[in-house]
Amino acid sequence: MIEVSDLALAAPDGRLLMEGLDLAVPKGGNLLVTGPSRSGKSRLLQVIAGTERPLRGRVRVGGVDLWPGGGALALIGRVRVGFVFASGGLLSNLSLWENAALPLRFRGVPFADIQARVDAALDRLAALPLAGLRPHAMSTSARRHGNLARVLALDPELILLDDPLEGLDAADRALVQNLIQAWAADSACTLVIASEELHAFPHLEAERFQMSHAAISMESR
C-alpha cells in the first residue's frame, strides 16, 4: 500500500528531519510512528498523504505515484485516504455533521447513504448530540471525535492518524483506542499512526518506527 524510497524531509524552517528513508507498509498493515515533538512525525504523514512535498525521494500509495508527481491530486478517485490532523481539520463554517459528510459528498455518494453513514459514525464516537454544532462551539475532544467520525464514515483504504489521543481524558481515550483497534484488525485497511506517546497503544499489532532529532530506527513487533 505504501512504498517510500530514499526519502528526505525538511521542516518548514529548513531544518533537515530525515534523509535516505526506505519504508514499506503492505495493504492491511499497521505502522506506529513515535518520537518527540518536532522530530518530523507529522511531516512524514503529510508527505504520505500527498499534502506536503519532500525534499527528494519517491512515494507511492496504492500503486499511485505521489512524489515525484502531483501529490494528493493523483489519489482522487483511485485511493480513499482518511487523515486525522493533530490540530484543526474541521471547516469552521460547517456543522460537525456537515464536516463528517463532506468527503462522501465529494465522492458523489447518495444522500440517504451519507446520512446513514455519518449518523452511525458520530453515534459510535458519542458525538451525535453535537451534530448541529460548529467547531468553535465544541470542546477539543469533540472536535477530535468529529475528525475521526469523518474518517469512519468514509471507510478509507488508508488511514493516517496524527496524535489521535492528545488532550483526551481517560473515557475518550478508551473510546478512540477501541476504534483504532478495530481499524488495525481490518485487513482491508492500512493504518499509520503518529504519536509522541511511546506506550499509548500497548496492544496494537504494528510495525514500530521511532524518530528522534538525531536518528531514526525501526523495529517489528
Q: Write out pLDDT tens, residues 27-59.
A: 999 999 998 888 889 999 999 999 999 999 999
What pLDDT does residue 82 have? 95
C-alpha cell at 151: 474518517
Spell out, as residue ranges, where the chain has pLDDT lower than 70.
Answer: 213-221
Contacts of 210 (CB under 8 A, 6+ apart): 33, 34, 35, 198, 216, 217, 218, 219
The answer to whether the Cα torsion of 40, 83, 88, 47 is positive or negative is positive
Between strands 81-84 and 158-162, the pairing is parallel
What pLDDT does residue 213 have? 61
What pLDDT does residue 136 have? 93
What helix, strand, coil percent values describe the chain, rounded to 5?
A: 35, 25, 40
157-169 burial, b if ≥16 CB within 10 A, otherwise e?
bbbbbbbbbbebe
What pLDDT does residue 181 have? 95
DSSP codes, 16-48 = EEEEEEEEEE-TT-EEEEE--TTSSHHHHHHHH
- Rounded distance between C-alpha atoms, residue 141 and residue 193, angstroms: 18
Among the listed residues 106, 98, 167, 101, the one whose alpha carbon sits nearest the alpha carbon of residue 133: 98
The reported pTM is 0.92
Task: Name the burial class of residue 144, with classes exposed (0-12), middle (13-18) and buried (19+) by CB atoms within 10 angstroms of its CB.
Answer: buried
What pLDDT does residue 166 have? 87
What pLDDT does residue 215 have? 43
